[in-house]
């Protein structure tokens, strides 16, 4: 028996020892990519509305293309998508590009943990849903939501529910001076309808609104009334803890019935860690105060109540008449309250 000769073909060669494909820094162009809106994210699967607001609009499930790397995509993101965009059962498209975000609602896990989490992109306003009773309102929590909204470049709307159980006057007076608009809703015994809904709707027209609120405040009740097909599960408040059951799941964008805006329900978001918020971005939400502070405050001024030579104190005293002075004082006090909320923990 002759021995087979050992030759080159026996040597398994791998031209690129680090991988099976040559690497390139060039990204594919994807000229055929279609615009889409992310309406829900669930464990790496994205529900999209491809070509939104056009006759070809289509609900499609997609995954993120590798080339997007570790970039987190969230509800409200505008993206571009390729592949199977038929939306047929089992089809999977590929998100290849993220469009620049207009606003970005973020939070840190808590105030000492600097890891930022993006919650929702491109929303216009944060609707802070708070019950006037059952569970009791927590102003610290509201303040923190306002800070998160202002930092995101969004406006804030305070929606006070359960006005059939308690008077909203005190909270209304507290939030109006800081530019937070307030709407009040209630429900009468036996009647299924939510009173005050038309006013809530008038604030949502043509905008994308993110709804946040603690469990049991009536957020699902509100969402179901606004978007009748949404079918967000409503829980029952536990009489012992005052908390509701966590009946809803992940953040989802829901279109208002007349196609005149979106609401994004965020069941998992019940508080905001604010370690990422810079004093300046909070101050910027108070145009009049920011102007004074930029012009006259000493460098590195914290603008807090105990800050030496903070120009905001002098500005209050310079009010032309008692009414102006009182209004200025209320603005500065409120801004400082938010600064404190940014620094402190969320306490009941
Ligand atoms: N009295 C009164 N009860 C309300 C009102 N709105 C909602 N509720 C009740 O409050 C409870 C909680 O409402 P939900 O809509 O489930 O609250 P949620 O904020 O969505 O809570 P989760 O589902 O746990 O996130 C339910 O029993 C509702 O019927 C209101 O205006 N007045």
CA geometry: angle 312, 314, 316, nearest 5 deg: 70
Distance CA 3, CA 17 (A): 31
Is 149 in a helix, a strand, or coil?
helix
Q: Quote the DSSP letter at residue 178.
A: G
Q: Which residues of the chain are in CATH 2.40.50.140 domains?
A: 34-98
Q: Which helix (H) or strand (E) holds 220?
A: helix 219-226
Which tokens hold the place of 314? 């002098």
Cα 141 to averaged position of ligand 1 atoms, centre (Å):
18
Mean of the pLDDT values across residues 130-136? 94
Q: How many CB atoms lie within 10 A of CB 24?
A: 7
Domain 107-265: give its CATH code.
Answer: 3.40.50.300
pLDDT at residue 345, as a whole number: 44
Backbone angles phi, psi at 200, to 5 degrees: -60, -50
| Atom 10 of ligand 1, residue of closest alpha carbon | 218
Cα 153 to averaged position of ligand 1 atoms, centre (Å):
29
Q: Say if residue 223's pLDDT is above 80.
A: yes
- % the chain with pLDDT above 70: 81
Cα 233 to averaged position of ligand 1 atoms, centre (Å):
10
Do residues 178 and 335 lie in contact, with contact meaning Cβ atoms separated by under 8 Å?
yes
Mutate to test the pocket of ligand 1, among 127, 244, 265, 269 (most ligand atoms within 8 A of CB): 244
Q: Which helix (H) or strand (E) holds 17?
A: none
80-125 pLDDT per residue, tens: 999 999 989 889 999 999 999 999 998 876 656 667 788 899 999 9
Task: Report, at the CATH architecture level, how domain 34-98 is classified.
Answer: Beta Barrel (2.40)
Mutate to test the pocket of ligand 1, among 167, 235, 268, 271 (most ligand atoms within 8 A of CB): 235
Q: Is the CB of 187 under 6 A from ligand 1?
A: yes
Among 20-34, 121-135, 323-337, top mean pLDDT goes to 121-135
Distance CA 241, CA 223 (A): 24
20-75 pLDDT per residue, tens: 555 555 666 788 899 999 999 988 899 999 999 899 999 999 999 998 988 899 99
Mean of the pLDDT values across residues 215-229? 89
- pLDDT band at 339; cut points 50, 70, 90: confident
Q: Does the annotation flag 220 for ligand binding?
A: yes
| Atom 1 of ligand 1, residue of closest alpha carbon | 162
Q: Quote the DSSP letter at residue 31.
A: T
pLDDT at residue 279, as a whole number: 85
Q: Say if residue 166's pLDDT is above 90.
A: yes
CA distances from 86 to 41, 83, 89 (A): 19, 9, 9
Do residues 274 and 111 lie in contact, with contact meaning Cβ atoms separated by under 8 Å?
yes
247-276 pLDDT per residue, tens: 335 788 999 988 789 999 987 776 777 877
Q: Say if residue 243's pLDDT is above 50.
A: no
235 class by beta-carbon count within 10 Å (0-12 exposed, 13-18 middle, 19+ buried): middle
Q: Is the CB of 162 under 6 A from ligand 1?
A: yes
pLDDT at residue 27, as a whole number: 60
Per DSSP, helices labelled H in 85-209 are: 139-152, 169-175, 197-204
Cα 17 to averaged position of ligand 1 atoms, centre (Å):
60
Mutate to test the pocket of ligand 1, among 128, 221, 222, 263 (most ligand atoms within 8 A of CB): 221
Do residues 36 and 81 lie in contact, with contact meaning Cβ atoms separated by under 8 Å?
yes
Do residues 75 and 120 lie in contact, with contact meaning Cβ atoms separated by under 8 Å?
yes
Atom of ligand 1 nearest to the CA of 134: 10
Backbone angles phi, psi at 126, to 5 degrees: -105, 120
Cα 52 to averaged position of ligand 1 atoms, centre (Å):
32
Q: Which residues of the chain are in CATH 3.40.50.300 domains?
A: 107-265
Which tokens hold the place of 124? 């216009």
Query: Cβ neighbours of residue 76 under 8 Å, at least 6 residues apart?
Result: 37, 38, 120, 121, 122, 123, 208, 210, 253, 262, 264
Mutate to test the pocket of ligand 1, among 214, 216, 248, 252 (most ligand atoms within 8 A of CB): 216
pLDDT at residue 134, as a whole number: 93
Q: How many CB atoms lie within 10 A of CB 299?
A: 4
Q: Say if residue 213's pLDDT is above 80.
A: yes
pLDDT at residue 247, as a whole number: 38
Q: How many CB atoms lie within 10 A of CB 241?
A: 10
ipTM metric: 0.96
Q: Does the annotation flag 64 for ligand binding?
A: no
pLDDT at residue 292, as a whole number: 94
Instruction: Look over the chain and give the mean of its residue pLDDT values, rounded to a whole number.
Output: 83
Q: Does the annotation flag 87 for ligand binding?
A: no
Q: Say if residue 187's pLDDT is above 90.
A: no
Mean of the pLDDT values across residues 124-145? 91
């Amino acid at each position: 028996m002759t021995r087979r000769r050992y030759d080159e073909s026996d040597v398994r060669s791998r031209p690129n020892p680090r991988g099976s494909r040559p690497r390139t820094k060039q990204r594919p162009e994807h000229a055929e990519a279609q615009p889409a809106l992310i309406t829900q994210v669930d464990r790496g699967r994205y529900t999209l509305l491809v070509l939104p607001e056009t006759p070809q609009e289509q609900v499609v499930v997609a995954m993120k293309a590798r080339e997007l790397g570790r970039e987190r995509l969230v509800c409200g993101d505008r993206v571009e998508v390729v592949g199977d965009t038929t939306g047929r059962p089992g089809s999977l498209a590929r998100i290849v590009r993220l469009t620049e975000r207009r606003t970005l609602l973020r939070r840190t896990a808590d105030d000492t943990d600097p890891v930022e989490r993006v919650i929702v992109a491109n929303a216009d306003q944060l609707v802070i849903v708070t019950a006037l009773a059952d569970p009791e309102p927590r102003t610290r929590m509201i303040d923190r939501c306002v800070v998160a909204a202002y930092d995101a470049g969004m406006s804030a709307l305070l929606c006070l529910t359960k006005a059939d159980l308690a008077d909203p006057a005190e909270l209304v007076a507290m939030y109006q001076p800081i530019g937070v608009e307030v709407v009040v809703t209630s429900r009468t015994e036996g009647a299924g309808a939510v009173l005050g809904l038309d006013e809530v709707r008038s604030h949502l027209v043509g905008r994308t609104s993110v709804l946040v609120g603690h469990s049991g405040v009536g957020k699902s009740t509100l969402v179901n009334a606004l978007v009748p097909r949404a079918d967000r599960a409503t829980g029952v408040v536990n009489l012992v803890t005052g908390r509701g059951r966590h009946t809803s799941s992940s953040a989802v964008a829901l279109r208002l019935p007349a196609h005149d805006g979106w609401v994004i329900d965020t069941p998992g978001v019940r508080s905001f860690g604010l370690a990422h918020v810079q004093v300046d971005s909070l101050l910027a939400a108070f145009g009049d105060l920011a102007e004074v502070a930029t012009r006259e405050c000493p460098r590195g001024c914290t603008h807090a109540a105990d800050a030496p030579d903070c120009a905001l104190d002098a500005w209050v005293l310079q009010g032309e008449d008692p009414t102006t002075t009182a209004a200025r004082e209320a603005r500065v006090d409120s801004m400082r309250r938010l600064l404190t909320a940014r620094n402190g923990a969320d306490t009941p």
